[in-house]
Amino acid sequence: PCNLTGWWENDLGSKMQVFKVGNDGTFSGEYHTAVSSAKKPIQPSPLIGSQHLDEDGQCTFGFTVNWKKFSDSTAVFVGQCFNEDDGKEVLHTSWLLREKVDSEPDDWKATR
């Protein structure tokens, strides 16, 4: 089965560390993004999530990253863990990023 615990790196060089997945599938960790449009220096950011613990091991999961240390934005990720034929575990994810805007009329440009 896929085990999210440990370090993961994406194609852009961002890294995520999942500290431990509980028996109920909940987990926490840190996200070290390699990309940002924020003006402040990038810092590791807390994440919290949940993994669906499937019997076949190729589990779905989701987590939220709060970029509060350097940005007024929040991101959510959803994905699935796959076990490849060579035994390697691979995560496939999609994400949404919500940036703070100053007014409701600007809401249309706040989510990517």
Q: Is the pLDDT of residue 108 over 90?
A: yes
Phi, psi of 5 (to 5 degrees): -60, 135
Spatial strand order in the sheet of 73-83: 6-9, 15-21, 26-32, 45-51, 60-66, 73-83, 89-99
Question: Residue 45 pLDDT more than 90?
Answer: yes
Residue 78: which domain range?
6-109
Q: Are 30 and 14 in contact (CB under 8 A)?
A: no
Average pLDDT, the chain: 91
- In CATH, what number is assigned to the domain containing residue 44? 2.40.128.30
In a domain, 1, yes or no: no
Do the domain assignments include residue 74?
Answer: yes
The set of residues, in sequence order, having a beta carbon less than 8 Å from that of 37 and lying 6+ positions away, is none
Q: If pLDDT is split at 50, 70 and 90, which confidence band does 57 have?
A: low
Ranges 28-32, 40-44, 94-98, 101-105: which has the least confidence: 40-44
Does 84 score more than 90 pLDDT? no
**Higher-scoring residue by pLDDT: 2, 78:** 78
In angstroms, the CA 95 to CA 85 distance is: 26
